[in-house]
Structure 1
Amino acid sequence: MGADVRQQVVDSVRESPSFSLQLDESTDVANCAQLMVYVRFVKELNVHEEFLFCHPLPSRTTADEIFKVLNDFMRENNVDWGRCCGICTDGARAMTGRHSGLVKKVQEVAPAAIWTHCIIHRQALATKRMPQELHTVLDEAVKIVNLIKSRAMNARVFSILCKEMGAHFKQLLLHSEVRWLSRGKVLTRLCDLREEVLLFLAEINSPLVKHMEDMKWVAKLAYLSDVFEKINTLNICLQGKECNVFYAHDQLCGFRKKLELWGARVERGSVEMFPTLEDVLARAELKVECLQQVVCAHLEGMRKQFGEYFGEETMANQWVRNPFSFPVTLKDGLSAGEEEALAELSCDMDLKQRMSDVSLAHFWLSVGTEFPQLSTKAVNVLIPFTSTYLCE
Structure 2
Amino acid sequence: MPHHCRESDYALCIRDGKQEIKESSYSKFSLQFDESCDIAHCAVLLGFVRYVHQDRIKEEFLLCDNLLTTTKGEDVFNIINSFFTKNGLDWNSVQQVSVDGAPAMMGGHRGLRGLMQAVNPEISVDHCIIHRYSLGSKSLPGNLKLVFEDVLKIVNFIKSRDVNSRIFKELCKEMGEQYQVLLYHTDVRWLSRDKVVHRVIELRKAIQEFLEQKGSPFATKFTDKEWLARLCYLADIFAELNSGNLQLQGRNTTVIDARHTVAAFLAKLRLWIRRLEKGVIAQFPTLDQFIEENSHDTGSLLQTINKEMSDHLKGLETSMHHYFPESDQETASLQWIIHPFSVPDEAIHDDDFLRLANSVQESLDVVGIILNNVSVREGVLNCAGDENKKEDSLECCKRCQAGTFNHEAKNSSTSFKYATPTISLMLLTSLYTGDIVALLLI
TM-score by length of structure 1 reads 0.88
- Matched with 1:35 is 45
CA distance in 2 between counterparts of 1:198 and 1:144 reads 10
- Higher mean C-alpha displacement, 346-355 vs 176-185: 346-355
**Distance in 1 between the 2:347 and 2:356 partners?**
13
Task: Specify whether residues 367 and 261 from structure 1 end up closer, same or farther in structure 2 by C-alpha distance, changes over 3 A only.
Answer: closer
In the other structure, the counterpart of 1:206 is 216
Aligned residue runs from structure 1 range 16-55, under 5 A: 16=24, 17=26, 18-55=28-65
Identify the match of residue 328 of structure 1 among 307, 332, 345.
345
Contact between 2:247 and 2:261, CA under 8 Å: does it hold in 1? yes
Does the residue aligned with 1:224 lie in a helix, a strand or coil?
Answer: helix
Match of 1:292 among 306, 316, 320: 306
Deviations along 1:53-91, whole A, 9 cap, x unmatched?
A: 111113221111100000111111111222211100111
Q: Deviations over 1:298-349 (max 9, x none)?
A: 11111111122212541224322233444333554x3x44543555577687
Q: Do 2:172 and 2:180's aligned partners in 1 also have CA atoms closer than 8 Å?
A: yes
The answer (yes or no) to whether the contact 1:24–1:35 under 8 Å persists in 2 is yes
Residue 112 (1) aligns with residue 129 (2): no
Given that 2:37 and 2:44 are in contact with CA atoms closer than 8 Å, whether structure 1 keeps it comes out as yes
Counterpart residue number, 1:389: none
Superposition pairs for residues 276-315 of structure 1, below 5 Å?
A: 276-285=286-295, 286-287=297-298, 288-311=302-325, 313-315=328-330
Q: Give the 3-state SS of the residue equivalent to 1:314 in structure 2.
A: helix
- Quote the residue 2:393 is aligned against: none
Match status 1:73 vs 2:73: no
Instruction: Report Cα offsets for 1:14-67 as digits up to 9, x if no partner.
Output: 223221111111011111111111111112322211211111113221111100
Identity rate, percent: 34
Structure 2 counterpart of 1:245, from 233, 250, 255: 255
Q: Which has the larger radius of gyration?
A: 2
Give, in whole Å, the separation in 2 of the partners of 1:293 and 1:3: 54
Paired residues of 1:83 and 1:110 also in contact (CA < 8 A): no
Structure 1 spans left out of the alignment, 5+ residues: 385-392
Q: 1:46 to 1:367 in 2, by over 3 A?
A: farther
Q: 2:439 aligns with which of 378, 381, 386?
A: 381
- 1:10 and 2:18 are equivalent in the alignment: yes
What TM-score comes out, normalization by structure 2 length?
A: 0.79
d(CA) in 2 for partners of 1:280, 1:327 = 48
- SS for the counterpart of 1:68 is helix
Report SS of the residue matched to 2:97. Answer: strand
Aligned to 1:388: none
Q: Output one character per residue of 1:156-185: Cα deviation in whole Å (capped at 9) or x when no partner.
A: 221122222221222111000111101111
- Unaligned stretches of 5+ residues in structure 2: 1-8, 367-415
Q: Is the alpha carbon distance of 1:354 and 1:300 closer, same or farther for their aligned partners in structure 2, counting shifts above 3 Å?
A: closer
CA RMSD for the aligned pairs? 2.4
From the superposition, tell whether residues 273 and 325 of structure 1 become closer, same or farther in structure 2 (CA, over 3 Å). Answer: closer
**In structure 1, distance between residues paired with 2:107 and 2:440:** 25
> Match for 2:11: what amino acid?
A
Q: Is the 8 A contact 1:87 1:116 kept in 2?
A: yes
Residue aligned with 2:322, SS: helix
Counterpart pick for 1:353 among 419, 427, 441: 419
Aligned length: 374
SS at match of 1:24: strand
- Checking the alignment, whether the CA contact within 8 Å between 2:18 and 2:87 is kept in structure 1 is yes
Q: CA deviation at 1:109?
A: 2.8
Go from structure 1 to structure 2 and tell me whether the alpha carbon gap of 1:141 and 1:330 turns closer, same or farther (over 3 Å shift): closer
The question of whether the paired residues in 2 share the 8 Å contact of 1:40 and 1:48 is answered with yes
Q: Name which structure has the greater RCO, CA cutoff 8 Å, separation 6+.
A: 1
Distance 1:352 1:42 in 2: 27
Distance, in Å, in 1 between the alignment partners of 2:360 and 2:100 is: 37
Distance, in Å, in 1 between the alignment partners of 2:135 and 2:66 is 27
Hey, what's the Cα distance between the residues in 2 that align with 1:69 and 1:309?
A: 29
Matched, 1:227 2:237: yes
Q: Equivalent residue of 1:208, what SS?
A: helix
**Structure 1 contact 324–345 (Cα < 8 Å) conserved:** no
